[in-house]
Structure 1
Amino acid sequence: MRKKEDKYDFRAFGLAIKEARMKQGLTREQVGSKIEIDPRYLTNIENKGQHPSIQVLYDLVSLLNVSVDEFFLPNTNNVKGTRRRWIEKQMDSFNEKELMLMESLANGIIESHEMEE
């Protein structure tokens, strides 16, 4: 039988959900309505680390574009974190000129890293 201390701690995930929800300007009531859960359930997930059902977990990460990789696979190099996914989602709405600016910024960052080495 599994020990209580072996149970996964969802508090970090809950905080990521809360941060993503707030970044998108959504209330708990709005999220609850969209995924058909009681806002109190979402409050408990965000603030107390309550374990969501698999369906609610899926609905939250899909709606809020939160990566579960960083929580469930923290030791892999292929983790696409929430911040990266959020930036990619924002870039989906960029026009060609804005994407060129982002590309220039990325190239500048890479060059500065090369200069440091």
Structure 2
Amino acid sequence: MAKIKDCPGFETFGVDVRAAREALGLTIKALAEQINVDPRYLSEIELKPTIPSIPVILQLVRICRLPMERYFNPELFGEVSAQRQRVSHKLQLCPEKYLPIVEATIDGAIKLDE
């Protein structure tokens, strides 16, 4: 596996995978089975500053619904705060049925700020 320092943009990859896996309600074992890797390998991806192979990255991005451009074109995210990036990713994982609640909450907060 490559090291994070050699691949700008991947600094949060492992943390993002773990957050997405947990948000999707998957165990390490279940996700590892879906991408056909050993659960220990997936755990290492989540916890250590290393980067998996491209096929594993592509599978994790697809299953975890991660924003590919964050890792392969980090300049697009350079001006976006870390908190906004986390919230944006969580919103992508949010089931459709809860989006009206999120939208109404945001609309209410905007009205309060005016």
Superposed pair shares fold, TM > 0.5: yes
Equivalent in 78, 81, 85 of residue 85 of structure 2 = 81
Residue aligned with 1:26, SS: coil
TM-score (norm 1): 0.68
Percentage of pairs with the same residue: 27
Write the mapping of 1:1-117 to structure 2, written as runs, cut at 5 A: 7-8=6-7, 10-70=10-70, 72-73=74-75, 74-76=77-79, 81-94=85-98, 99=100, 101-114=101-114
Residue aligned with 1:31, SS: helix
Quickly say closer, same or farther: Cα 1:70–1:110, change in 2 above 3 A.
farther
Quickly say closer, same or farther: Cα 1:5–1:50, change in 2 above 3 A.
closer
Give aligned pairs, total: 106
TM-score (norm 2): 0.69
Provide, for residues 21-72 of structure 1, a one-character-per-residue CA deviation record: whole Å limited to 9, x for no partner: 1222211111111111121221111111221112211111211122344452
Can you give the 5+ residue segments of structure 1 that lack an aligned partner in the other structure?
none
Larger CA Rg, structure 1 vs 2: 1
Residue aligned with 1:81, SS: helix
Tell me which moved more, 52-61 or 9-18. 9-18
Tell me which moved more, 29-38 or 64-73. 64-73
Which is bigger in relative contact order (C-alpha 8 A, separation at least 6)?
A: 2
